[in-house]
Copies of this chain bind each other. A is one copy, B any other.
């Protein structure tokens, strides 16, 4: 390969003059479409045509370039799609808010890889979110996922901002181990996010995990500076794992959030769940039991969630699914099985069913 420092700039200008593109073959277009018929019972019951029961709908573009000498460069642009309305949400995380148009707020990063690991820059999942993503058999979406009763999802979903870093952060720089974010062997990352979107985006955290044979275990810790004067901090740590017994794989997580400082009276939440997933021919059965317990300003706002599901794989890419979930709230807790618009009186219960299809492309 001939390299010339003049070529790239020339190519960008030439591109502007309709020259053929190079490197076209390096881009992978990928996505998920997940639509379901749902019956949700909060204060009232309603039928819905909803999305994201088994996996979050998405459309993305990504690519890897081999630079030689063990060095690689890559990019990743991925946004959420909601086929029930054709719109896109802002994808939970820092800097949320109504966008409506398609965007790349699930992940938009550029990376450099070498044998020692990866430097990744841009908007991305925070390390503390990965244990939920890896260890919950219901994933991070749908009526059955354990985060339905986690503080971040219920208190701030849709309004964005303050605790957004529990899922994603803008302006983040990460070092990722050679094993990757979520693979096998030793995995993990260290991440810091600039506070330029203040308050609530300044973040520092990390995750370390190991999997081999039948087991997988990981722990993560992070701090987020929630106020412009940096006096109020949210500290999050969690540990998760699974053990695969062959017939069934049992998994669980323990997650603790503590918000304090700056004269703020302080609030805490402890979450745990235990789940199991059992493949049977083309079927897969999932079950999970979760618990949320508030402390400080949200003391007594507790909840439990029980979820069960069955998936049937028509192919590797296409699956049918049915999920049932019920949440038992106490105190002023008002957790719901979905973030749909139907309201729920605090302390009342929420339940729902989703029957749908997930198609990966």
Q: Please determine whether A20 and B9 come into contact, CB atoms closer than 8 angstroms.
A: no
Contact of A194 among B12, B47, B314 (CB under 8 A): B47
Contact of A171 among B13, B48, B88, B361 (CB under 8 A): B48
Q: Please determine whether B49 and A173 come into contact, CB atoms closer than 8 angstroms.
A: yes
Interface presence of A73 (CB below 8 A):
yes
Protomer copies: 3
Chain B contacts for A255, CB-based, 8 A: none
Instruction: Give A123 to B84 CA distance when docked, in angstroms.
Output: 5
Interface presence of A266 (CB below 8 A):
no
**Given A100-B103, A123-B83, A283-B5, A318 contacting B29 (CB threshold 8 A):** no
Q: Please determine whether A15 and B30 come into contact, CB atoms closer than 8 angstroms.
A: yes
Interface readout for A12-46 with B: 1 if CB under 8 Å, 0 if not? 11111110111110111111111111000000001
Chain B contacts for A196, CB-based, 8 A: 46-49, 340-341
Interface presence of A61 (CB below 8 A):
yes
Contact of A8 among B99, B317, B341 (CB under 8 A): B317
Interface presence of A121 (CB below 8 A):
yes
Chain B contacts for A357, CB-based, 8 A: 73, 110, 112, 121
> For chain A residues 58-76, which have a beta carbon within 8 Å of chain B?
59, 61-65, 67-68, 71, 73-76
Interface presence of A181 (CB below 8 A):
yes
Interface presence of A117 (CB below 8 A):
no
* Residues of chain A having any CB pair with chain B under 8 Å: 1, 3-9, 11-18, 20-24, 26-37, 46-50, 55, 59, 61-65, 67-68, 71, 73-77, 79, 81-88, 91, 95, 97, 99-112, 121-123, 125, 133-134, 139, 170-173, 180-183, 193-194, 196-197, 279-284, 311, 313-319, 340-341, 356-361
